[in-house]
Amino acid sequence: QKAASGFVNASLALDQARAVKDIQEQELMRKASHLNDMAMAEITHFFKEGVTETDLAEQLKKIYRDLGADGLSFGSNAASGHHWPDDTRLKPGDCILVDIGCTWEGYCSDMTRTFFYKNVTQHQQEVYHTVLKANEEAEKAVTPGIPLSSLDQIARGIITDKGYGSAFTHRLGHFIGLEDHEFGDVSSASADRAVPGNIFSIEPGVYLENDMGVRVEDLVLVTDHGHEILNHFSKELTVID
């Protein structure tokens, strides 16, 4: 029997069907996010002066294996937004942006938390709390029928009001399931409304070049009467000693 790897999705109807997760899929994604919460807690133990992003990425792979996850759901120089690990070494005063995800029985997780190493300035605290508020207020608004563009507007408005609008350089979120980025867009350009079974990220960010970058990301499930946040790792401002 020939493998199905050559098949290509050419149907919008299939994308729309995949965007609504059934009960079994929802449970698999809860499990994937639970593993991701545990991995985030573990990786913070390795934040030591001089450690490189590459070192941490390798350690994360081991953590996922030990937790029993299938693997990574996608591959930080925080001011770059979405950045591939390199040999940058951790030093006091750094902002640590950790964007991680694993898979469980084929379904993906995705979460971002931002930490500060040894100390945090007043400016860093202001940026962090601005991004956190944008994340939390957008999540509170998730309910069946809300335009996805409205969620982006809520978060972007909070960040813009604080003077960082130009530094929020990407959409608020993406849909997720069997792939880390599936069809579906939580952005100002989206014409869709949230429906029960949708699972998407809420991930506002502020990226200040040669200064710092902050992003706070959760996965949110749209329920019949509201929403469920799949991530439970703390979002309080945390300074790693």
Tell me the per-residue pLDDT of 50-60, one tens digit each, with 9 for 90 and over. Answer: 999 999 999 99
Determine the residue type at 159: I
131's CB contacts (< 8 A; 6+ apart) are: 114, 159, 204, 205, 206, 214, 215, 216
Tell me the mean pLDDT in the region 148-153.
98
Query: Are the C-beta atoms of residues 21 and 199 closer than 8 Å to each other?
Result: yes
| Whether pLDDT at 79 is above 50 | no
Q: Which residue has the higher pLDDT, 80 or 116?
A: 116
pLDDT of residue 3: 46
Two tokens, residue 227: 């929403």
Would the pLDDT of 77 be above 70? no
The helix, strand and coil proportions of the chain, stated in percent and rounded to the nearest 5, come to: 35, 25, 40
Q: Which long-range contacts (CB under 8 A, 24 or more apart) does 23-30 make?
A: 25/107, 25/177, 26/197, 26/199, 26/221, 28/104, 28/105, 28/106, 28/107, 29/104, 29/107, 29/108, 29/109, 29/176, 29/177, 29/199, 29/219, 29/221, 29/230, 30/230
pLDDT tens per residue across span 17-48 = 889 999 999 999 999 999 999 999 999 999 99
DSSP state of 175: E
Question: What pTM did the predictor assign?
Answer: 0.90
Q: Would you state the pLDDT for residue 6? A: 60
The residues that bridge with 215 in the sheet, in sequence order, are: 205
| pLDDT for 170 beyond 50 | yes
First to last CA, the chain: 56
3-class SS at 19? Answer: coil
* pLDDT score recorded for residue 17: 83
Question: What does the pLDDT read at residue 148?
Answer: 98
- Residue 105 neighbours by CB distance under 10 Å: 13
76, 117 Cβ separation under 8 angstroms: no
